[in-house]
Chain A
Amino acid sequence: MSVVVIGAGLAGLTAATDLATAGVETTVLEARDRVGGRTHGIEVAPGAWADAGAAYLGDRHTELHKLLAGLGLSATPTAMWGGSRFALGSGEKTRAGRFPPLNAVALGELFDLLHGLTARVRPDAPWRTPDAAALDTVTAAEWAAGNLRHPDARLFFPLFLGEMMAADPASVSVLHMALYLRSGGGIRYLNAFAGGAQQDRVLGGAHQVAERLAAQLGTRIRLNRPVHAIHQQDGRVSVHTGTGEQHHGDAVVVAVPPVLAQAIDYRPGLPAPRATPATGRGCAVKVQIVYREPYWHAHGLSGWSVSATGPLLSTVDDSPPGGGAGVLTGFVTGAEAYRFAALDPAAREAEALHQVAELFPRLPAPVAVHVTDWVNEPYSRGCYAAVFGPGDWSRLGPHLSTPHGRVHWAGTETSTEFFGLMEGAIRSGHRVAAEILSSHETARRKR
């Protein structure tokens, strides 16, 4: 049997590894000149790396932990000690811990409502949630306008949603918000560093996972091969690339984000779309400001900050644990990400540095600034993941992992477990490989 895998992110590489291990002739076609998809490393000092893409993991991310162990990689705890900085209207600017200077009862009411929504959604099949149709027609912004009374809750909600899922409340459906928060382990788990989804980072950078998987797969991986068309005929599949090549297989795995999967020409055509006009991009731009060392520690600060206005709606210490550099990572999320991404590089850097100077006034000049714009990245079209808009779960949900003949689907957006996270991508890769191996076994037995 031979299989063509499209996309060398974590999902595609996991699937390819499982298939190759089972003796399947496997080819991986990747559009970029690198593997890793929405994981990407930046060398911030000689031998010291920071994650420009996906970065964090927690104990519940069991498949990622297994993969790290198998590849000789390890997790390292996220450092989070010292005070936080806030720019949230008239509230205090510096506080111990991460709790913002906002009305705690109002935030509790917000989290009660979000907890109620996440408890209601059916995690394995969100479109079958009682009331799914109603939850899927309303945007999170409309929901907030109707449900959040206190100004502090209204201020904090878009910041929280930006941090949790890089979504603009105006473009995400309430059903998707509920599914995303539930799928990631609930609002407490998804929000927490220690004991939560941000407990650890990959020592040396998350990009190494894809690089090591790719090294094992060797020449099976072909870079610079954007796929334009997938044609099925007479029990075979042919995959056409922008470089004019054709690759043939008994089956194909499409392991690219939904908006990109939708842009491929399928013959016969898809019975259900992979994305709709309502399917949005995860709105995240990651700004990494590199210093010689994490000077903020000497000022009693953790590097964590939250601001009501952009561009950097939050910052976090992202320094390599072995030393060598101090890295402050800023997140530009939600609607602000579109505005910021449209600026020219000099303006972006100036805005980011101006804000950092206000948040952390005693820092010396940085040695480098890296801006990673995932919103306009042609082969990701957003990050952390696709943002399902109104109607998407009803239309796309039932078909997300249903094969189209010999075309199978992977990617974090096809996993209702840990949707949008590295863990979801890896689980989808294992799932799709098992699906192909078992259908091939069945076909062989029938012969």
Chain B
Amino acid sequence: MNVHQATDLFRRVLENPRVSEQDDFFHLGGDSLLATRVLSAVAREHGVELTFEDFLLAPTPAALASTVTGAPR
């Protein structure tokens, strides 16, 4: 998963076209319910299952992309 894909995913789930790479999901109105929709998309599109706690540690597109890329498949 690259950072552009992660940014697009945030935009889709938050229904907000103005998300940039360093934006914190939870500062843009994201909450735990929407976070699970990011995680289901990551699993579906990139084959990596992250936990909610993984996402709390990587709540920006840049951080999420590097977590997914570094995760075992």
Contact = CB atoms under 8 A, between A and B. Distances in A.
Given A99-B52, A195-B29, A107 B34 contact: no
Given A99-B52, A109-B40, A112-B40, A104 B31 contact: no
B22 interface: no
Interface SS of chain A: helix
B41 interface: yes
Interface residues of B, number: 19
B39 A104 contact: yes
Interface SS of chain B: helix
A111 B32 CA distance: 11
Interface in B28-73: 29, 31-43, 49-52, 55
Given A104-B52, A105-B49, A195 B31 contact: yes
Contacts of A109: 40
A111 B38 CA distance: 10
Contact of A187 (B33, B41, B51): B33
Tell me which of A104, A106, A188, A196 has the highest count of chain B C-beta atoms within 10 A of its own C-beta.
Answer: A104
A58 to B, nearest CB: 13
Contacts of A65: none
A192 interface: yes
Contacts of A74: none
A334 to B, nearest CB: 19
Contacts of A404: none
A188 B33 CA distance: 6
B11 to A, nearest CB: 15
Contacts of B39: 104-105, 108
A104 B50 contact: yes
B24 to A, nearest CB: 15
A74 B46 CA distance: 48
B36 A192 contact: no
Contacts of A220: none
A187 B37 CA distance: 12
B51 A108 contact: no
A377 B36 CA distance: 38
A104 B33 contact: no
A115 interface: yes
A191 B31 CA distance: 10
A187 B36 CA distance: 12
B43 A105 contact: yes
B36 A108 contact: yes
B32 A108 contact: no
28 contacts: A97-B32, A98-B32, A99-B32, A104-B36, A104-B50, A104-B51, A104-B52, A105-B36, A105-B39, A105-B40, A105-B43, A105-B49, A107-B36, A107-B40, A108-B35, A108-B38, A108-B39, A109-B40, A111-B33, A111-B34, A111-B40, A112-B37, A115-B37, A187-B33, A191-B31, A191-B33, A195-B29, A195-B31
